[in-house]
């Protein structure tokens, strides 16, 4: 399956945060360079996105662009990427976007109901530190 | 580009229209693309539909603009408070902040409508109307059925078929008991 950036996106369970599911799909490549370059691994993908959100002077546009692009991929982002995104929201003084990000990843998990609680569990320290409430805590579901 | 074409049209009259509306609605980054100053003739007019719009979509969680563009005093003070620690915000304040930036939550935007009830109701209604039309037709449009449908005729017809031994093996006459002159049980 291709997104319009020209990269091939494989649905891949190992990359998602579903802690105890076996990987039943193929290789974890996220981007496939059509001219035959190196395939990117999961760790590289995660690292790239964490670096993107960790930029100290990230601006609102970059946050929005990053988030919208990330949600466009066929995967649920790892907690470390989300943590970086939430901290970026904090730097931008944007609580609403932080909550929206949580809603978006819950929606992204689709029928797999166990992913979101796992994410929240992993993000709990960050949520408490930054004072972000989940939409559930606020009754917004 | 588009703004080049727009500006050309505006050259004839000096509209003097600054895109102040645009300025207030649009984020910092978009201003550089939406204002086009052409050689002292003023600024190209930016239409509403050309500006970034707000929309709630699952695949685009963070739209380009906030939902509420002009903040009232309460909202402004809330935004100031947002710059501090978020733990000090109450739940209501957090919800209020969310609704400044966004119109519907994901839960709200994903819930279905009740449209299906109208659809089913409409279907039944039109089927009913059709039924009425059919009944009316039967009464007022169609002539009488042929005499071959009368029960007396039908009895004679069945008797004739039995006499002719229509389908005597497995079909019609096979089901008739010729000794007792009745249908087989």
Q: Which two tokens stand for residue B184?
A: 């087989």
* Residue A76 predicted with pLDDT over 60: yes
ipTM over 0.90: no
Question: What is chain A written as a DSSP string?
Answer: -B-TTS-B----GGGSS-TTPPP-S--------TTT-PPPPHHHHHHHHHHHHH-TT--HHHHHHHHHHHHHSSSPPPHHHHHHHHHHHHHTT-HHHHHHHHHHHHHHHTT-TTHHHHHHHHHHHHHHHHTPPPTTTTT--
Answer whether B97 touches A (CB < 8 Å).
yes
Rounded to whole angstroms, the Cα distance separating A23 from B29 reads: 42
Of A64 and B17, which is predicted with more confidence? A64
Digit-by-digit pLDDT tens for chain B (185 residues) are 544 444 445 444 444 454 445 444 544 554 445 455 556 677 888 888 888 899 999 999 999 999 988 889 999 999 999 999 999 999 999 999 999 999 999 998 988 889 999 999 999 999 999 999 999 999 999 999 999 999 999 999 999 999 999 999 999 999 999 999 999 98
State whether residue B37 is helix, strand or coil: strand
Per CB-CB distance under 8 Å, the chain A contacts of B97 are 95-96
Look at residue B182 in the predicted model and tell me its pLDDT: 93
Look at residue B4 in the predicted model and tell me its pLDDT: 47
Q: Residue range A85-112: average pLDDT?
A: 95
* DSSP assignment letter at B88: G
Find, among B42, B17, B19, the residue nearest to B32 by Cα.
Answer: B19
Look at residue A61 in the predicted model and tell me its pLDDT: 95
Look at residue A81 in the predicted model and tell me its pLDDT: 96
The residue assigned the tokens 């009316």 is: B136
Rounded to whole angstroms, the Cα distance separating A108 from B49 reads: 30
Rounded to whole angstroms, the Cα distance separating A31 from B56 reads: 28
Look at residue A38 in the predicted model and tell me its pLDDT: 82
* Residue A119 predicted with pLDDT over 60: yes
Look at residue B50 in the predicted model and tell me its pLDDT: 87
The Cα of A58 is separated from the nearest Cα of chain B by a number of Å equal to 13
The Cα of A47 is separated from the nearest Cα of chain B by a number of Å equal to 22
Look at residue B12 in the predicted model and tell me its pLDDT: 46
Q: Which helix (H) or strand (E) holds B182?
A: strand B182-183
Of the candidates B91, B97, B106, which has its C-beta nearest A104's C-beta?
A: B106
pLDDT tens per residue, range A105-117: 999 999 999 999 9
């Amino acid at each position: 399956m291709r997104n319009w950036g020209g990269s091939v996106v494989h649905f891949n369970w190992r990359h998602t945060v579903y802690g105890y599911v076996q990987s039943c799909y193929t290789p974890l490549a996220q981007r496939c360079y059509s001219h035959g370059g190196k395939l990117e691994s999961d760790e590289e993908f995660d690292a790239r996105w964490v670096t993107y959100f960790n930029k100290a002077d990230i601006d609102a546009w970059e946050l929005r662009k990053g988030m919208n692009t990330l949600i466009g991929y066929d995967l649920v982002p790892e907690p470390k990427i989300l943590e970086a995104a939430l901290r970026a929201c904090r730097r931008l003084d944007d609580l609403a976007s932080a909550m929206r990000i949580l809603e978006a990843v819950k929606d992204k998990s689709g029928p797999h109901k166990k992913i979101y609680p796992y994410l929240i569990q992993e993000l709990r320290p960050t949520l408490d530190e930054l004072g972000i409430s989940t939409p559930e805590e606020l009754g917004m579901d | 580009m588009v703004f080049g074409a727009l500006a050309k049209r505006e050259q004839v009259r000096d509209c003097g229209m600054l895109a102040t509306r645009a300025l207030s609605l649009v984020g910092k980054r978009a201003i550089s693309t939406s204002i086009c100053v052409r050689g002292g003739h003023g600024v190209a007019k930016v239409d509403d539909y050309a500006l970034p719009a707000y929309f709630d979509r699952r695949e685009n969680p963070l739209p380009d603009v906030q939902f509420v563009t002009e903040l009232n005093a309460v909202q402004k003070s809330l935004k100031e408070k947002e710059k501090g620690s978020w733990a000090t915000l109450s739940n209501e304040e957090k919800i209020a902040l969310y609704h400044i930036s966004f119109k519907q939550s994901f839960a709200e935007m994903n819930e279905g409508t009740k449209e299906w009830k109208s659809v089913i109701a409409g279907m039944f209604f039109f089927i009913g109307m059709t039924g009425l039309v059919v009944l009316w037709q039967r009464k007022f449009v169609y002539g009488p059925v042929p005499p071959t449908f009368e029960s007396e005729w039908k009895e004679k017809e069945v008797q004739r078929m039995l006499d002719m031994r229509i389908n005597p093996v497995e079909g019609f006459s096979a089901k008739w008991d010729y000794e007792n002159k009745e249908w087989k049980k």
